[in-house]
């Protein structure tokens, strides 16, 4: 029996076992709180700050038990006769059937606030009355144990963890006073017992057996001092035959225990809170809806990849240490859901640009001191600033956004968005080597490709092609002779210096040596250089034909290898990329982002079948690499798949953060389906794969939901 299926038009992922090959998570979140609930409803609850969402952990895994007529059962582990987890946009629910009773556990994050809301329902199917006890144990995980304690507040019926917020410098005390430092667990049914110490609840040994306090039906009702704390609650019910009993549980963070009664009154109106959360997701799903002949593709395209794109683009991947290429490309995916808010996101990025046009590739978004990759100079920032701004503004349908005034990171001056983009193009277009191609510096799109340009002379073929493409994309909507001349100059330099006979080089290093050539024993052909040579219109005539032919040697069942063969030992020319495990990450694997660039090049040359096949390769529903092999939940695109033959072939990296989803959605909606938004209106220009005759679709343009029937 297959363990999963999409239901309700793709809005529900039904998982019929707790024992999936890896944790199959559903990300539940609002603007200030996130919970990654697995198929067993396990995962961390974290707060998200407003400075691009730094994370602070609040709750850890949850352990739930029932004790029916004196016999104890562990929940969420498959101990019953049947098990089903249903992941939805707004909530996740597990239903377990036992002999004589059924337990349903549901969790969701409300539309606002730093909290998670749980409901545990026990239904009596035995034919006779029964006694049922429910035990819930939430780990309360705020920073360390030293100086922390857990308490029980009798008045509000709340277990909570407290302790003065951690700080280092004497002068930080006043700021620490402002932090929320109470982690609490409370309920709408008065518990008959509680426990606040993790060790007293579980004992010293195996935490996966049924704890002795549950077996005995009695919790210790004691405080915890400087130890691993928890919020364990014990509820007791008498349930008639055919009836049910339930308890709603609220867990979250507060500034003081005195806030909890008000939070209970607001959030334990559970039906209203869940309805509000669901309404938000329904509105988001309305941004577009496409009915293709492929139901599984529809589920991913219309539902699950929207959630992935929204989280990555709106919340900066819940990170503060990031490349601006992630922020800008993720926002491009988010623009398919909320283009105007996506424009706001990228304006925050543009405000870091320098007055001369330079923009740093890696940044700390919370104002903290630069670290690691933020300390070195990547060369690709201008490319993404131009390309993503153009695409996002086009998706808004509002060309006036080019006239928005934005400041600079190193100046009090302000310029229009369009002038910012032109400055970026002029700055990077001037940073070329002796062959006229763009400098590599400490890395381009490929962060670990840090060897060729470290002396400041190496030239990147990908940089050159990608900047040419970005400029030509900009001048297609905002004509500019100076920028056109820059793109033409880059085009000529690349065709004069980077052709290797059957494909374009990866680059020329600081010492003038070409790399990514047919003579190299490893990394002969670099996928991205070929894809962007096509996208930019640099590869023409016979060279275009040869580049397209060269893709064949890079294709495997899960996409296109970033290069081949992979490195098996360190290569000083390429640098850190060659030190990665062979066939993983950027070292010659099917890296989904690179595969998306290849799909874009297929579209650029008008091959819809090749584009669609390439797009489908990266999906976890790809029949050539099914979930039984890739091991991940069929709800997101990972950043790569393991690519060497053997037991691990096709296994997902399981990483939720990838620019691939933005490109996938952009190409599927605007080019394969063909509903393309522009500043001057909507263009319908489908590129259906063979077999698609007609589809129905809807998409919101400038606030208006428009419906379409599109034929091949």
Q: What are the residues whose beta carbons fall under 8 Å from the beta carbon of 586, sequence distance 6 or more?
A: 446, 447, 448, 449, 562, 577, 580
The span from the CA of 365 to the CA of 351, in Å, is 12
The span from the CA of 436 to the CA of 574, in Å, is 21
Tokens of 460: 């990147």
Q: Is residue 708 reached through a cis peptide bond, with omega within 30 degrees of 0 on the bond before it?
A: no
- Over its C-alpha atoms, the chain yields an Rg (Å, rounded) of 28
The span from the CA of 56 to the CA of 45, in Å, is 9
Query: What is the number of other CB atoms lying within 10 angstroms of the CB of residue 171?
Result: 8
The span from the CA of 652 to the CA of 655, in Å, is 8
Q: Which long-range contacts (CB under 8 A, 24 or more apart) does 607-615 make?
A: 608/672, 608/687, 608/688, 608/689, 608/690, 609/689, 609/690, 611/667, 611/671, 611/672, 611/687, 611/689, 612/672, 612/689, 613/689, 614/559, 614/560, 615/664, 615/667, 615/668, 615/672
How much helix, strand and coil, in percent to the nearest 5, is found in the chain?
Answer: 35, 30, 40
Q: Which of 24, 43, 89, 568 is nearest to 287 (CA)?
A: 89
Could you tell me if 567 and 581 are in contact, meaning their C-beta atoms sit under 8 angstroms apart? no
Q: Which of 271, 217, 229 is nearest to 106 (CA)?
A: 271
Could you tell me if 589 and 625 are in contact, meaning their C-beta atoms sit under 8 angstroms apart? no
Give the active site residue among 447, 491, 510, 617.
447
What angle, rounded to 10 degrees, do the helices at 660-667 and 592-604 form?
A: 20
Mark whether 557 is an active-site residue.
no
The span from the CA of 528 to the CA of 498, in Å, is 14
The span from the CA of 190 to the CA of 237, in Å, is 11
Tokens of 261: 């009664």
3-class DSSP assignment, residue 592: helix
Query: What is the number of other CB atoms lying within 10 angstroms of the CB of residue 210?
Result: 17
Give the C-alpha distances (Å, rounded to integers) separating 405 from 266, 479, 569.
41, 20, 50
Q: Greatest CA span in the chain, whole angstroms?
A: 87
Q: How many helices, marked H, and strands, marked E, lie in the chain? A: 19, 37
3-class DSSP assignment, residue 276: helix
Q: What is the DSSP letter of 301?
A: I
Query: What is the number of other CB atoms lying within 10 angstroms of the CB of residue 278?
Result: 17
Q: What is the DSSP letter of 379?
A: S
**Which residues are known catalytic residues?**
447
């Amino acid at each position: 029996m297959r363990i999963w299926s999409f239901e309700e038009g793709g809005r529900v992922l039904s998982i019929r076992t707790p024992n999936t090959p890896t944790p199959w998570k559903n990300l539940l979140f609002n603007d200030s709180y996130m919970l990654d609930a697995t198929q067993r409803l396990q995962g961390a609850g974290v707060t998200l700050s407003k400075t691009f969402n730094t994370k602070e952990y609040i709750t850890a895994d949850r352990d739930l038990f029932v004790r029916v007529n004196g016999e104890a059962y562990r929940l969420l582990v498959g101990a019953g006769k049947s098990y089903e987890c249903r992941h939805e946009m707004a909530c996740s629910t597990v239903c377990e059937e036992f002999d004589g009773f059924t337990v349903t556990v549901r969790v969701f994050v409300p539309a606002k606030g730093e909290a998670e809301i749980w409901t545990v329902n026990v239904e009596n199917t035995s034919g006779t009355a029964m006694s049922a006890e429910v035990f819930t144990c939430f780990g309360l995980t705020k920073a360390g144990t030293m100086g922390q304690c857990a308490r029980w507040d009798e008045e509000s019926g709340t277990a909570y963890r407290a302790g003065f917020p951690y700080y280092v410098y004497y002068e930080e005390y006043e700021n620490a006073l402002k932090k929320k430092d109470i982690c609490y667990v409370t309920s709408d049914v008065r518990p008959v017992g509680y426990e606040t110490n993790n060790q007293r609840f579980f004992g010293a040994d195996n935490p996966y057996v049924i704890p002795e306090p549950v077996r005995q039906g009695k919790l210790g009702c004691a405080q915890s001092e400087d130890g691993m704390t928890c919020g364990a609650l014990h509820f007791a019910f008498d349930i008639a035959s055919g009836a049910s009993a339930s308890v709603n549980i609220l867990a979250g963070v507060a500034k003081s225990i005195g806030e909890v009664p008000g939070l209970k009154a607001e959030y334990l109106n559970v039906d209203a809170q869940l309805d509000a959360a669901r309404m938000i997701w329904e509105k988001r799903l309305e941004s577009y809806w496409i009915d293709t002949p492929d139901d599984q593709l529809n589920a991913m395209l219309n539902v699950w990849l929207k959630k992935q794109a929204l989280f990555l683009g709106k919340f900066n991947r819940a990170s503060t240490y990031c490349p601006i290429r992630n922020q800008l490309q993720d926002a491009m995916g988010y623009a398919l859901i909320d283009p105007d808010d996506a424009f706001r996101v990228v304006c925050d990025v543009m405000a870091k640009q320098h007055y001369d046009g330079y923009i740093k590739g890696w940044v700390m978004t919370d104002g903290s001191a630069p670290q690691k990759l933020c300390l070195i100079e990547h060369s690709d920032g201008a490319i993404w600033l131009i390309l993503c701004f153009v695409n996002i503004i086009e998706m808004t349908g509002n060309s006036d956004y080019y006239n928005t005034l934005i400041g600079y990171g190193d100046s009090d001056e302000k310029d229009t968005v369009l002038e910012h983009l032109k400055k970026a193009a002029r700055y990077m277009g001037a940073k070329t080597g002796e062959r006229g191609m763009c400098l590599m510096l400490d890395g381009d799109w490929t962060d670990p490709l840090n060897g060729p340009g470290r002396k400041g002379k190496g030239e990147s073929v990908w940089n050159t092609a990608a900047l040419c493409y970005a400029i030509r994309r900009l001048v297609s909507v905002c004509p500019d002779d100076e920028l056109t001349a820059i793109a033409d100059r880059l085009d000529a330099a690349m065709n004069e210096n980077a052709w290797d006979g059957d494909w374009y080089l990866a680059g020329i290093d600081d010492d003038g040596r070409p790399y990514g050539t047919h003579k190299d024993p490893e990394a002969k052909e670099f996928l991205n250089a070929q894809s962007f040579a096509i996208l930019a219109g640099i590869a023409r005539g016979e060279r275009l034909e040869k580049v397209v032919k060269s893709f064949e040697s890079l294709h495997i069942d899960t996409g296109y290898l970033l290069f081949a063969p992979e490195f098996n030992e360190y290569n000083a020319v390429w640098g850190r990329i060659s030190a990665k495990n062979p066939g993983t990450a950027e070292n010659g694997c099917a890296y989904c982002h690179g595969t998306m660039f290849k799909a874009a090049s297929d579209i650029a040359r008008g091959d819809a079948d090749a584009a669609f096949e390439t797009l489908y390769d990266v999906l976890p529903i790809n029949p050539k690499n099914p979930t039984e092999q890739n091991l991940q939940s069929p709800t997101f695109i990972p950043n790569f798949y393991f690519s060497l033959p053997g037991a691990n072939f096709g296994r997902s990296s399981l990483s939720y953060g990838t620019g691939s989803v933005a490109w996938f959605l952009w190409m599927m909606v605007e080019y394969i389906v063909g509903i393309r938004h522009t500043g001057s209106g909507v263009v319908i220009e489908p590129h259906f794969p063979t077999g698609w005759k007609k589809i129905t679709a809807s998409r919101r343009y400038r606030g208006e939901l428009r419906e379409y029937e599109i034929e091949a």
